[in-house]
Amino acid sequence: MLIVFGLLAKNNKCSLKKLHVANWVVKSEDHVEEFLFWTKDTNGVRPDIRMEPALDRAIELMIGDKFLLKTDGRLEVTDAGMKIFEKLNEASLLEIERKRLLAIKKYMTEANVERIFKVA
């Protein structure tokens, strides 16, 4: 998930919901297309985001390893976490995931994330 912070986080911070949306998006090109389609018509059918319990556990481990901090209900990447992201980024790992995240970057705002989870 450090790649999400490196590519999508504003001021190195993002919400847990945003991490879940990003995790869902990177799993398939169909998810990217579904998310982008919804951003053009937010009154249309919302993407069916699946919350991944393993992601929550991974986040807790990253907090324990001091790669992330949890403050005021938001997650923030630490300097150590950014160093790991930079190494991953330099190594050209996770190319598919990077491509998918960059495709949605413009639309992956906290406001859009909140709208996805808003109960009508």
- Using DSSP's 3-state secondary structure scheme, residue 73 falls into coil
CATH fold for the domain made of 2-117: Arc Repressor Mutant, subunit A (1.10.10)
Q: What is the pLDDT of residues 87-108, one digit of tens each?
A: 988 887 889 999 999 999 999 9
Reported as half-sphere exposure (CB side, CA atoms, 13 A), residue 84 has a value of: 15
Total Cβ atoms within 10 A of residue 107: 14
The structure's pTM equals 0.91
Q: What is the pLDDT of residues 21-39, one digit of tens each?
A: 999 999 999 999 999 999 9
Q: Which of 68, 69, 65, 30 is nearest to 47 (CA)?
A: 30
- Please report the pLDDT score of residue 44 as a whole number: 78
- Using DSSP's 3-state secondary structure scheme, residue 67 falls into coil
Please report, for the chain, the start and end positions of each structural domain, with discontinuous segments joined by +.
2-117
Q: How far apart are alpha carbons 106 and 73 in whole angstroms?
A: 23
